[in-house]
Amino acid sequence: MIIQIEPQSDVPIYEQVSRQIIEGIARGDMKPGDTLPSVRNLAADLCVNMHTVNKSYHELEAKGILTIRAKSGAIIRSVEERALTSEQLQQIEKNLKPLVAEGMVLGASVDQIELMMKKVFADLQMPVEGV
Amino acid sequence: MIIQIEPQSDVPIYEQVSRQIIEGIARGDMKPGDTLPSVRNLAADLCVNMHTVNKSYHELEAKGILTIRAKSGAIIRSVEERALTSEQLQQIEKNLKPLVAEGMVLGASVDQIELMMKKVFADLQMPVEGV
DNA sequence: TGTTTGTTATATTGATTATATAACAAACAT
DNA sequence: ATGTTTGTTATATAATCAATATAACAAACA
């Protein structure tokens, strides 16, 4: 798993870490049961503070993606353990909406946006038809 | 146009205003050529500071959605005036990716995510087939 | 038994967000 | 022509967030 931090990004570092871990899991780079590097090791790798990585891990735990065992490590939960609640779906939908709306207002067509979605799926190596 | 502010949201107020204006335009509540309320009026309506609304307007101008005429007002640009650049599309795609990835990791299927997209389209009253 | 681990605590720095006032000059309405 | 409204600019303040820096603790691990 390679994580690239953009220091000048408007996205906080801890959020960049969270997202790239999620994408790594979605892509299959990391599988359920795998142990994440210790917060100290990953922090050293990324040249960031320990607490920054720790914040990411806890964010992922709050989302139900990880299980943190105190003084041991962080383990990726299986899909079965992750309960996809309607609240989570609604949250994602809520975050999706302004992006789609912006695209539409800027002049993108429905087709363009759906094509964009398919590109994202392809990038995450999800099995989609018609890519 | 009704704008609802959630003071406890983790989304900044100026960002909430920007998003809801964009959604209003996408939905057709506001049309190109329409003038937005003055920053002072809208701020009074929302019970927020003038500068907060001003920040929203300038964000929308930076995105190419508005034209601010100094000491006169803010006008919604037409789709023809708004140049949809590939950079803008890439930016949206970049923001879309972590949301989709999170959905996938949490156990959502491709179908569920595409259904979610269609719900968003429907909410924005975009003409989509199969909704 | 020593090392590694996550946890907790404290402190500091910088940036962001939001508000509060105030003044200015151009635009607007009557 | 006059008074009001407009966006702009400036300054100041408070609160929150993001990130770093140390340090110490106790459980887990080899």
Q: A-chain residues within 8 Å CB-CB of B102?
A: 22, 63, 92
pLDDT of residue B130: 60
For A73, the enclosing helix (H) or strand (E) is strand A73-76
DSSP conformational letter for A32: T
Does A63 sit within 8 Å of B108, measured CB to CB? no
Does B93 sit within 8 Å of A120, measured CB to CB? yes
Q: Could you tell me the two tokens for A47? A: 């040249």
Strand partners, B35: B75
Q: How confident is the model at residue A131 (pLDDT cuts 50, 70, 90)?
A: low
User: Half-sphere exposure (CA, 13 Å, Cβ side) for B128?
Assistant: 22
User: What residues contact residue A82 under an 8 Å CB cut-off, 6+ apart?
Assistant: A64, A65, B105, B106, B107
The pLDDT of residue B34 is above 70: yes
Which amino acid is located at B86 in the chain?
S
Residue B127 has a CB neighbour count (10 Å cut-off) of 8
The pLDDT of residue B91 is above 70: yes
Of A23, A83, A126, the CB nearest to B110: A126
Of A101, A114, A123, the CB nearest to B26: A101
pLDDT one-digit tens code per residue, A73-110: 999 999 999 889 999 999 999 999 999 999 999 999 99
pLDDT of residue A126: 72
Are B57 and B43 contacting, i.e. CB atoms less than 8 angstroms apart?
no
| Nucleotide in closest CA–C1' contact with A7 | D19
Q: A-chain residues within 8 Å CB-CB of B65?
A: 105-106
Q: How far apart are CA A104 and CA A1, in angstroms?
A: 35
User: Taking CA A123 as the corner, what is the angle to CA A120 and CA A126, rounded to the nearest 5 degrees?
Assistant: 85
The pLDDT of residue B43 is above 70: yes
Q: How confident is the model at residue B131 (pLDDT cuts 50, 70, 90)?
A: low
Which amino acid is located at B85 in the chain?
T
Does B101 sit within 8 Å of A121, measured CB to CB? no
Q: How far apart are CA A97 and CA B16, in angstroms?
A: 12
User: Taking CA A2 as the corner, what is the angle to CA A29 and CA B99, rounded to the nearest 5 degrees?
Assistant: 65
Are A33 and A76 contacting, i.e. CB atoms less than 8 angstroms apart?
yes
pLDDT of residue A76: 98
**CA B67 → CA B31, B60, B75, B88, B130, distances in Å?**
13, 9, 5, 18, 36
CATH topology classification for A13-76: Arc Repressor Mutant, subunit A (1.10.10)
* DSSP-derived pairing of the beta strands A73-76 and A66-69: antiparallel
Angle, in degrees to the nearest 10, between helices B86-105 and A86-105: 170
Residue A46, CB, strand C, below 7 Å:
no
